[in-house]
Amino acid sequence: MQYEVGDIVKLKKPHPCGSHEWEILRVGADFRLKCLGCGHQIMVARTLVEKNVRGLRRPGEGSGTGNGAADGESGKQKN
């Protein structure tokens, strides 16, 4: 799987703050991840991240609500 800076990954085990989601800040042999719950940053070996990832979201993708807001639509009718 291809990982890029800015991607959001969901890991198997939660951080002590309760969040499962992490933002990728650095990609290489190690990953720098930032917890989206509390902002804590960690460095983790690539092998550990690849083993424990349960989901991947790209920036700009919707949260799955299907309301079209992620596509730049504001819900207003165009004239």
Q: How far apart are CA 66 and CA 64, in angstroms?
A: 5
The tens digit of pLDDT for each residue in 16-73 reads 999 999 999 999 999 999 999 999 999 999 999 999 999 998 887 765 544 444 445 5
Q: What is the pTM of this model?
A: 0.72
Domain boundaries, position 56: 8-61
Amino acid at the residue 76: K
How large is the greatest C-alpha to C-alpha distance in the chain, in angstroms? 52
In this structure, the dihedral spanned by the alpha carbons of residues 48, 33, 57 and 54, taken in order and rounded to 10 degrees, is 30
- What local confidence, expressed as pLDDT, does residue 68 receive? 46
Asked whether residue 77 is domain-assigned, the answer is no
Q: Judge whether 12 lies within some domain.
A: yes
- Whether residue 49 contacts residue 33, with contact meaning beta carbons closer than 8 Å, is answered with yes
In a domain, 79, yes or no: no
Total number of domains in the chain: 1
**Encoded tokens for 65:** 């609500």
